[in-house]
Amino acid sequence: MPGDTPGIEIHHDWDQLGLRASGSHDVTFTDVRVPSENILDPVERGARAEQDNKGLAALGVTVAAIYLGVAHAAQKAFHRFAHERVPANLGHPIARTDRFRDAAGEIEVNLAGARQLLYSVADAYDRGEDPEPKAAQAARILAVRQANAAVALATRLLGNPGLSRSVGLERHFRDIQFAAIHAPQDDIVLRQLGTAALEAAA
């Protein structure tokens, strides 16, 4: 339904730790008239559950892509700081030190792995294939974990400047914290995947 449909009210109440630019506000629907052409075709109850599982898995890939974008932004902030920071006792940018080169490599490996996971599942959707929901959910979990690890490493290595608003990394560190709250949460997905794996091996 279009957002300006009568009866739809958006409550600008998102005041959380991060994702403040996402517009993740609450919405109230009061006597909203839905044209018949806007209604999806009805399906059988069992088919609906399967449809919902597939839809949720596909949404998970999209959500993970958002956090991969957050992690890439954090990586850019990390690179910029490493090239601009020149301690007086060092005499050159910290980007030239082994410690920062090693960390930059670790961050790159994490993000490259996350990107490959998500792109492989997204490519299957683009080709008109229907990936198994468990494959999409597994890709989401692994990609988000890798993105989170990359941002945490960048923030930790920068130390105090990493938590300063002026550097920019602090915002990405806050935003990536929201990756864990999206349904279905990791513990639910892991139990489902584990149950299916054990049953298949029985």
Residue 135: count other Cβ atoms within 10 Å of its Cβ: 16
Is CATH 1.20.140.10 correct for 50-201? yes
Quickly list DSSP for 181-199.
Answer: GSSSPHHHHHHHHHHHHHH
Q: What is the pLDDT of residues 137-156, one digit of tens each?
A: 889 999 999 999 999 999 99
Domain ranges of the chain: 8-38, 50-201
Beta strands in 17-80 (DSSP E): 26-29
Pick the more confident residue, 22 or 51: 22
Host H or E run for residue 158? helix 133-158
Q: What is the pLDDT of residues 62-72, one digit of tens each?
A: 999 999 999 99
What is the pLDDT, as a whole number, of residue 52? 66
Burial of 68 (0-12, 13-18, 19+ CB in 10 A): buried
Which residues make beta-bridge pairs with 26?
A: 11
What is the pLDDT, as a whole number, of residue 144? 95
Q: What is the pLDDT of residues 83-137, one digit of tens each?
A: 999 999 999 999 999 999 999 999 999 999 999 999 999 998 888 887 787 888 8
Q: Is the pLDDT of residue 48 over 80?
A: no
